[in-house]
Amino acid sequence: MENYDIIVAGGGMAGALAATAAARKGAKVLMLDRNDSSEVGKKTNWGWVCGDAVAKSHIDLIEKELKIKLSEPVLDIRVDGVQVLSPDMKNRFPFEGEGFSLDRPKAAKFFAAEAQKAGVEYRPHYEVEGPIVEDNKVVGIYGRDEKGEQVKIRAKLVIDALGVASTIRRKLPKNDYIENTVSTDDIESTGRYIAHFEQNGEDENYYDPKNALIHLNQVLAPGGYGWVFPKKGNRINIGIGVEKKSLDVRNAKLGKTDTLHTLIDQYVKWNPLIKSITIDETDKNGKGYWSVTVRRQFDSLVFPGYMGAGDSMAMPNPISAGGIGPAMVAGVLAGQVAGDAINEGNTSMEFLWNYNVRYNNTYGNKTAALEAFRVYLQSLNNDLINYGMSHFLTKKEAEDISYGRIPEITIASTFTKVLSGLSNIEAFKNLVFTVKKMKRMNELYGKYPDLAGFKAWKDIVNKEMREVKEKFPPAPV
């Protein structure tokens, strides 16, 4: 059987950067992906399905940690930031700051080439089927090669970067560290088109060449949102995400049978600035549908012999569903810690725990609070979101929340903001409750535990989040 220091399963954003970071430390790394080399990182048969937007801060981290400089054409277009619009289009809140739209197929090829430059052995056409587990430790993977023959490969460490449907994570032995599955309540079904479009007039709330726009609207995109992100050459990346329960509630109340597919087409038609669209078939990446998680990352990202990075660990931001940045950050950190573990001859859980701590301190410590806020948001109908965006939160407070900073919102300090209406007052009280829980979550993740304290800490986190979820069932209309 073949034998490596590290197997990186999946050649997407997380995988290619993890492989690069580990190889730069001198480890013997094998990176596997099911696609042909010309289509590395392609998530599904539909292509590199993504909104393509990524914050500059994440690109900067790659440059700082790996000295990899991104430029055109990988960076397709620069934007000033993300703007979130209320359903009535009267309020526009900034979110996440300066960023870029990536050309995903080109980005994936670029990162895979960087990995190979760093000495990574890259094997396409390999379908990963599951982990090889001995004595409750991952010691390799099994899967099928191009000819459909089963091939087993051993390694001291396996990094799982297979994305949201990971066949490794799902087949880990039941354990206290990493769940095998993600609840459907924490998953958005999403779809998007990359398209040329004919523009009908000017209105920066519907298409803004300098900003990525997010439209909150519980009728058009129940439990999620719609987006119009600019791309070079008079093109847009346009799509929606919906949460299943919210969609069911919305359809039942409105007597409709809409699906993700019908809703995307309605969203395109709803936009008065888009006269017509023509799907951009470059790289066969024009139209696609896939899932994205909107919960905090798994509370531990490691298991004996195993580390996870990116969508396999539910890393996308719970509010924006932005997962490129977290996948890149996690890839770099997982690869660095794995490389150190090989060099020191210590692949114990205690050593791998450094990755949990570093990811938590770099990005992960804010996501539980954001998950709580996302659950609250899904419990509001359009009227309440409109009202809340004009009365409950200032632009500064909303922006702070998007960065994981929790504003001071109490009934007493903000009473004058709430004008009238029982449901509004209830919604405001619920916001105050949510903000308290968000603070609590930030406190808990501010004291991320060591290996010995993990189980007790996780029980507290789960209890706090359960309370939020029980209080706020989805109510889109």
Catalog residues that contact ligand FAD under the rule CB under 6 A. Answer: 10-15, 32-35, 41-43, 49-54, 126-128, 161-163, 167, 190-192, 239, 290, 292, 310-311, 316, 321-325, 327
Q: Which residue has the tokens 């995400």?
A: 241
Name which of 128 and 236 has its Cβ closer to ligand FAD: 128
Let me know: does 276 contact 200? Beta carbons within 8 Å: no
Let me know: does 475 contact 222? Beta carbons within 8 Å: no
Name which of 146 and 198 has its Cβ closer to ligand FAD: 146
Closest distance of CB 44 from ligand FAD, Å: 7
d(CA 283, CA 274): 23
Closest distance of CB 10 from ligand FAD, Å: 3
**Nearest Cα to Cα of residue 439 among 466, 401, 475:** 401
d(CA 352, CA 226): 38
In this structure, how many other beta carbons lie within 10 angstroms of the beta carbon of residue 281? Answer: 12
Name which of 242 and 393 has its Cβ closer to ligand FAD: 242
Name which of 240 and 444 has its Cβ closer to ligand FAD: 240
Name which of 321 and 427 has its Cβ closer to ligand FAD: 321
Closest distance of CB 193 from ligand FAD, Å: 10
Closest distance of CB 460 from ligand FAD, Å: 28
Name which of 13 and 139 has its Cβ closer to ligand FAD: 13
Closest distance of CB 105 from ligand FAD, Å: 11
d(CA 88, CA 77): 28
Residues 120, 121, 126, 131: what is their CA dihedral angle, to the nearest 10 degrees?
-60
Q: Which residues of 108-250 form beta strands (DSSP E)?
A: 121-123, 127-134, 137-144, 150-160, 187-199, 211-215, 225-231, 235-243
Closest distance of CB 173 from ligand FAD, Å: 19
Q: Bridge-partner residues for 290, per DSSP?
A: 190
Name which of 167 and 356 has its Cβ closer to ligand FAD: 167
Closest distance of CB 33 from ligand FAD, Å: 5
Amino acid at 404: G
- Shortest Cβ contact with ligand FAD: which residue? 323
**81-95: string of b/e by CB count within 10 Å (b at 16+)?**
bbbbbbbeeebbbbb
